[in-house]
């Protein structure tokens, strides 16, 4: 590209008229230097502004880095926060039960609930499923959360029965402590521990017995649900009413999915006869042992 007529700087004290522009004077790109005298020295005020801008940018970058560092620390702290949530709900339940039963029994009862729920957690992890730590709900027991209960009904039965199995062992430990110390506190804890695990074996979802029935005989969900209804009127308990409500909804949803059929549902409930017999043997044996345990630890408390 040809250059236009060069622009000559004006000598001091002399006025020179600039040459007439060409018809189509080419324009340089905005990024090209147009000062014929070359780079000029920056004014101090300009340097101060640029230095201030760099300082602001450095400060903003430091703030972003600090935020990311704190966010990373928060992510590392999440498991501890979950532990704090478990401990917090445990303390709330402990306080609630203590108003009814006193602190010693409340502490033992919460411990038995924890042992029961840890049975589910251990079984889920053996199935390769991540489970949350137990969360305690006063006068409702404790719960855990997981994305599923296993890949099939047999896995669901294993997870469901693991809670009463470990919970029954915990209650049996209380029996040993009762015989070793002669303290009736452990006898009462054993009785309630056996009763808690026996109640959970009722054949209705979402109780543990309902999980076992998924691998044995899903139609038993309706039998278990029917057995719960008279208990509500017999004991007049709002907790039982809530359980019946959840059981009705869960039973209806699961039976509708089963009735809809499909390859996925068929594969889920497909259990070998031998596995079905083994689940039934564990389920019935647990019921028998828990009934014996309740009978051996039962005592009538007298009020003086």
pLDDT digits 0-9 by tens, 162-215: 999 999 999 999 999 999 999 999 999 999 999 999 999 999 998 999 999 999
- Cα separation of 91 and 85, whole Å? 10
Contacts of 199 (CB under 8 A, 6+ apart): 207
C-alpha to C-alpha distance for 267 and 95, rounded to whole angstroms: 45
Give the residue among 251, 252, 256, 202 at the shortest CA–CA distance from 231. Answer: 202
Q: What does the pLDDT look like over 62-71, one tens digit per residue?
A: 544 444 444 4
pTM of the model: 0.70
Measured between alpha carbons, how far is 203 from 273 in angstroms, rounded to an integer?
Answer: 19
Q: Report the mean per-residue pLDDT for the chain.
A: 78
The string over 265-302, giving b where at least 16 C-beta atoms fall within 10 Å of a residue's C-beta and e elsewhere, is: eeebeebeeebbebbbebbeebeebbeebbeebeeeee
Give residue limits of the domains in the chain: 83-297
Average pLDDT over residues 41-68: 50
Proportion of the chain above pLDDT 90, given as a percent: 48
Q: CA 31, CA 231: separation in Å to the nearest integer?
A: 86
How far the first Cα of the chain sits from its last, in Å, is 115
Instruction: List Cβ<8 Å contacts ≥24 apart for 118-123.
Output: 118/166, 119/162, 119/163, 119/164, 119/165, 119/166, 119/167, 120/144, 120/159, 120/160, 120/162, 120/163, 122/162, 122/166, 123/158, 123/159, 123/162, 123/163
What's the pLDDT band for 35 if we cut at 50, 70, 90? Answer: very low
Q: Among 26-35, 74-83, 124-133, whose mean pLDDT is lowest? A: 26-35
Residue 123's CB: how many other CB atoms inside 10 A? 24
Per-residue confidence (pLDDT) for residue 45, from 0 to 100: 53
C-alpha 170/C-alpha 164 separation (Å) is 10
Nearest to 145 by CA among 126, 131, 158: 131
Q: How many residues does the chain have?
A: 304
pLDDT tens readout for residues 106-164? 999 999 999 999 999 999 999 999 888 888 888 888 888 888 888 899 999 999 999 99
User: How many CB atoms are located within 10 Å of the residue 74 CB?
Assistant: 10
The dihedral built from the CA positions of residue 60, 66, 72 and 77, taken in this order, carries a sign that is negative
């Amino acid at each position: 590209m040809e250059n236009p007529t060069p622009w000559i700087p004006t000598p001091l004290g002399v006025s020179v008229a600039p040459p007439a522009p060409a018809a189509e004077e080419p324009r340089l790109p905005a990024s090209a230097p147009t000062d014929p005298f070359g780079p000029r020295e920056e004014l101090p005020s300009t340097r101060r502004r640029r230095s201030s801008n760099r300082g602001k940018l450095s400060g903003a970058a430091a703030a972003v880095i600090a935020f990311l560092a704190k966010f990373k620390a928060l992510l590392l702290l999440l498991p501890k926060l979950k532990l704090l949530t478990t401990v917090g709900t445990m303390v709330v339940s402990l306080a609630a039960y203590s108003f009814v039963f006193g602190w010693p029994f409340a502490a033992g009862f919460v411990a038995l609930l924890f042992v029961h729920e840890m049975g589910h957690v251990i079984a889920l992890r053996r199935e390769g499923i991540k489970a949350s730590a137990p969360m305690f709900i006063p006068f409702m027991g404790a719960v855990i959360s997981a994305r599923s209960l296993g890949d099939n009904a047999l896995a669901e039965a294993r997870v469901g029965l693991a809670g009463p199995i470990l919970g029954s062992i915990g209650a049996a430990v209380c029996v040993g402590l009762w015989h070793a110390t002669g303290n009736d506190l452990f006898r009462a804890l054993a009785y309630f521990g056996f009763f808690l695990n026996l109640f959970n074996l009722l054949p209705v979802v979402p109780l543990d017995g309902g999980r076992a029935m998924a691998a044995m005989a899903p139609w038993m969900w309706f039998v278990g649900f029917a057995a719960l209804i008279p208990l509500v009127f017999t004991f007049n308990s709002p907790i039982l009413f809530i359980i019946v409500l959840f059981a009705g909804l869960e039973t209806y949803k699961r039976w509708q999915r089963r009735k809809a059929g499909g390859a996925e549902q068929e594969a889920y409930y497909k259990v070998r006869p031998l596995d079905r017999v083994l689940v039934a043997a564990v389920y019935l044996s647990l019921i028998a042992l828990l009934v014996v345990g309740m009978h051996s630890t039962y005592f009538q408390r007298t009020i003086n």
